[in-house]
A = this chain, B = another copy of it.
Amino acid sequence: MQATSVVEALGALAQEHRLAVFRQLVQAGDRGMAAGALAEALGIPNSSLSFHLAQLRNAGLILQERQHRSLIYRANYPAMNGLLVYLTENCCAGAGCDAGAVCETPAQERKSA
């Protein structure tokens, strides 16, 4: 991962609403959530939410997919991991720190569970 995209990703997360959106999607898992559902769940006006979703998407942190009438958003887990790894790279001058992926893409719950 590159410094520029890390800054973008961090900047995308460094905002109350966007952090809430991202976490909601992280917790929603592979199933994702529609823009409208997010807006209602978090109490954010549609136009504002749309702005924030665009930022998160532009930063590569979330993925968009149309499903019938709604646009479904999902967390991009590999991107999140890249971020975490970047921050801890070469950590502590090599003093026994293990920096690795924290969360792999969930595979075992494709619209079942």
A residues lining the B interface (CB < 8 Å): 3-4, 6-7, 10-16, 19-20, 22-23, 26-31, 77, 80, 83-84, 87-93, 95-100, 102-104, 106-109, 113
Contact = CB atoms under 8 A, between A and B. Distances in A.
User: Assembly of this chain: how many copies?
Assistant: 2
Given A91-B26, A102-B84, A106-B92, A7 B15 contact: yes
A104 to B, nearest CB: 7
5 contacts: A27-B90, A27-B93, A29-B92, A99-B102, A102-B102
B7 A14 contact: yes
A10 B28 CA distance: 22
Given A10-B19, A19-B7, A80-B87, A99 B92 contact: no
